[in-house]
Chain A
Amino acid sequence: MSASFTAEELFQWIEEGRDYVYLDVRGEEDHARFSIEGPSEITLLNIPYYDFMEDPEGAVAQLDPSSTYRTICAKQGSAMFVAEVLGEAGFEDVRWLEGGMTGWGQVLIPKRISTPEGYELWQFNRPGKASCSYGLVHEGQMMVFDPSRNADFYTSFAEAHGVRITHLFETHLQADYVSGGASLAAATGATYHAHDGDFASSTLSYTSVVDGATVSFEGGRGPGVLCTHAPGHTPGSTVYLIDERYMVSGDTVFIVSVGRPDLGKKVVEWAKQLYATLKERICTLPDALMVLPGHYTDWGTEATEDHLIMNDFGTIKALNESIYGLDREEDFIAYIVDNMRDQPEVYNTIRQVNAGLLSPAAEELDTMDLGKNECAASHMAA
């Protein structure tokens, strides 16, 4: 029986730059659609598991016995099967991914952001989605921003750190992943903050975000969270300014690009809103503000040396001169329209799930919640 590894170990190995060869044994289509990636370059091969059934010798002959292989599939059965085949062929230390790509898609990696004393700020990176949620901790309480579906992660994190989750914030109604907000609110009793612009037609019980209001920890001490309505990516998009130093920017400001305003099929109307938001509400913020985005596209350009997805707003404006340099609304709309592309069909279903209008079975949720985000207005920095 060959040994396995977890999705957390997989991330750690990629981060450490371990000299492994990752062998994806899913079909070529699945591999092309969604695969593993992380902070450093990896060697990744794709040989479908059925090749190891039809022509085991031919499939094995494509591999180098002196390399160390880590096999990956959709769930785990096929990766285990191929690991066994390789083991029988004399390959040493072959291991397979527990829970497969489904598990990889859900894993969250906590990293602490350096802050002034008195509070802790955590980035929870979800490498399988290229998305980030955040935790703000102060005196035994934690606020969580944009929790993803893996609610157990957040409750376990809170328990391990001896804190209780008291507030949950949505930056917007997510289209690309299933939110954990409502289930975490039910599990913890935390106040669930969301903007009417996105959530008014939902069936969820939430507290309406008020533009310009500050949410504080119990006792009134610690960093405040200033809610700022930032429509454009969605009508209810909100950014949260923490301690006047950090901005949880959701899908409004990314390190590279801005959140695409075409997902609601009202591209011109929403692009106008986004232009006004950027000019009047975002560009007036200080350059030193650290931006903590909801998504990223590329580790190489968007991560710090410590593998945090963040940067200061001044640097972000310089990185995205082709967007922030546009001084006429019509030029901005033209930029958005030029960079438009289709959105995955599943996004509409995910929006309905996140508004409480649909409750699919767990396995169906697993499937729709998988795959990298498509939320940026453009792919390249300029």
Chain B
Amino acid sequence: MPISEQTRDGHLLLQLEGGLTIFQAAELKDELLQALAHAEHRIELNLAAVEEIDSAGVQLLLALKHEAASQQKTVNYSHHSPPVLAAIDLLNLAATLGDPLLIPNAR
């Protein structure tokens, strides 16, 4: 399963693993929709283990963000892996998908 979830500090923490490409996009979309429905306010998506991303993946992240906004929820992306950073950089989407985590979480 490329996605794993746990709850932390009252918000949903999702971990994406492996590819974030057209091959996984359809499946991921459904899972993300579900996760969003479950979440109360905020979802944090940890992208540290994303090994590969293509534009299908990028637009999925964008759409999730929009969708969350329309439901008055927040989606944050964190711990971007190098491939994700490269794509964000190329597409100049740092403002939208960069999401420096606002809450540093008690560690």
Query: Is B truly associated with A?
Result: no
